[in-house]
Amino acid sequence: MAADIRIARKDTGKVGLPEVALGVLPGTGGTQHMVRMVGKSKAIQLMAEGSTFGFDKALHLGLVNEIYESEDRDSFLAAVLEYTAQFTMPDKASKAVGLIKRSAQTGSEMPFELALALERELQAPLFASADATEGLNAYIEKRKAKFKGEWSAAEPT
């Protein structure tokens, strides 16, 4: 649950926090992640029941983002790597992706006003980056951007 994006391989496991059956609570952030992901009432229900369930229910609850059907571990890993490649250069501005993750992860733990301030703080260096210049120019020129992961617009290409 601590991962940014969670991808499951169909029919290879179960999801849940069954620690109550051991007489303990789901530690290592389990209670806190679950509440933030599914809401307080549903989280308490799932943890108090201690049930485990398949990935289809986990997808419905928002505990996994995707379920991939794969014949074996290697094809699953290849599919995951293909999926994650979309978040890197040259198709995406990887620094922007990183700061999106930071803003969402950190900001979700803050009061809203502070989270907006964090967002503005993280946005400023991106607007000054070579990647932002490339992205905006590509948009204006109606072409696909080719990002390089450069911070400064003044950096050599």
Question: By the 8 A CB rule, do 67 and 15 touch?
Answer: no
Instruction: Verify that 73 and 110 share a domain, yes or no.
Output: no
Query: How many domains would you assign to the chain?
Result: 2
Domain hosting 30: range is 7-84
pTM: 0.79
Question: By the 8 A CB rule, do 37 and 61 touch?
Answer: yes
Of residues 26, 80, 66, 28, the one with CA closest to residue 50: 26
Whether 89 maps to a domain, the answer reads no
Instruction: Verify that 72 and 105 share a domain, yes or no.
Output: no
Task: Give the model confidence (pLDDT) of 5-40 as tens digits.
Answer: 999 999 999 999 999 999 999 988 999 999 999 999
Instruction: Verify that 31 and 72 share a domain, yes or no.
Output: yes
Of residues 147, 126, 124, the one with CA closest to residue 135: 147
Whether 109 maps to a domain, the answer reads yes
pLDDT at position 156 is 39
Whether 156 maps to a domain, the answer reads no
Whether 43 maps to a domain, the answer reads yes
Cα dihedral 74, 75, 76, 77 sign = positive
* Domain containing residue 116: CATH number: 1.10.12
pLDDT confidence band for 102 (50 / 70 / 90): very high
Instruction: Verify that 22 and 77 share a domain, yes or no.
Output: yes
* Domain containing residue 25: CATH number: 3.90.226.10
